[in-house]
Chains A and B, each alone.
Chain A
């Protein structure tokens, strides 16, 4: 059984550009959540996808968007990158929504915006 994987590992982009980050959920998991972890801070919830539909969103602007595919893998897209978007982006998958389901985190994608 493979765990949650994310690609790429590191990424450098210029302000104003667009970026796509990818996440493969753990086998059998139908729910994917995305978090942003700024340096020295705890992860902050961006949004969650459950069976290809958005299921809750944190306090992030619309230029942060996502997608979940039929195989439950997911993408995070960020448009018009800003310097403050520099962070570790974490993806977590779970067997379902709700408090009874443990979230398994991937190693993250480190995004640097210059």
Chain B
């Protein structure tokens, strides 16, 4: 059962443009939503995370927007650079006694010059 749906599957953005990746969740027990970046041959690395008590969180060029009523959240990458080319995963977890992460299916982002 997929509890976190992610779209699009792949995304091509011109250098300097805005990359937007969307996720939706079903489990209302989720209360922590991280985004991970994965380069080929590497494990996922935490990029930015948000809790549902805020609607937006910004760190540098990366912004998470969160809509609790719609159970949706998205990652915006401003001024996208070729070095941002990677696979991005949204994830979710809750107060389960362990930080069991439920991941989306991933978005392969390619930034072209």
Q: Which residues of A contact B (CB under 8 A)?
A: 4, 31, 33, 35, 40-45, 48, 50, 55-56, 58, 90, 92, 94, 97-99, 101-103, 105-108
Given contacts A55-B98, A56-B97, 9 further A-B contacts (CB under 8 A): A45-B100, A45-B101, A45-B102, A56-B96, A58-B100, A92-B43, A98-B98, A99-B94, A99-B99
B interface, size bucket: 20 to 34
Across the interface, name the chain B residue whose C-beta is closest to A58.
B100
Across the interface, name the chain B residue whose C-beta is closest to A102.
B46
* B57 nearest CB across to chain A (Å): 15
Q: Which residues of B contact A (CB under 8 A)?
A: 4, 6, 31-32, 36, 41-46, 89, 91, 93-106
- Contact check, A41 vs B99: say whether CB atoms are below 8 A apart: no
Closest 10 interchain pairs by CB? A105-B43, A42-B103, A56-B98, A99-B32, A48-B98, A45-B100, A97-B98, A55-B98, A105-B44, A43-B103
User: Out of B6, B31, B43, B97, which one reaches A42, CB within 8 Å?
Assistant: B6
A-B contacts counted at CB < 8 A amount to: 69
- Contact check, A41 vs B105: say whether CB atoms are below 8 A apart: yes
* B90 nearest CB across to chain A (Å): 8
Kindly state the separation between the CA atoms of A94 and B59 in the bound complex, as whole angstroms: 22
Across the interface, name the chain A residue whose C-beta is closest to B44.
A105
- Contact check, A107 vs B42: say whether CB atoms are below 8 A apart: yes
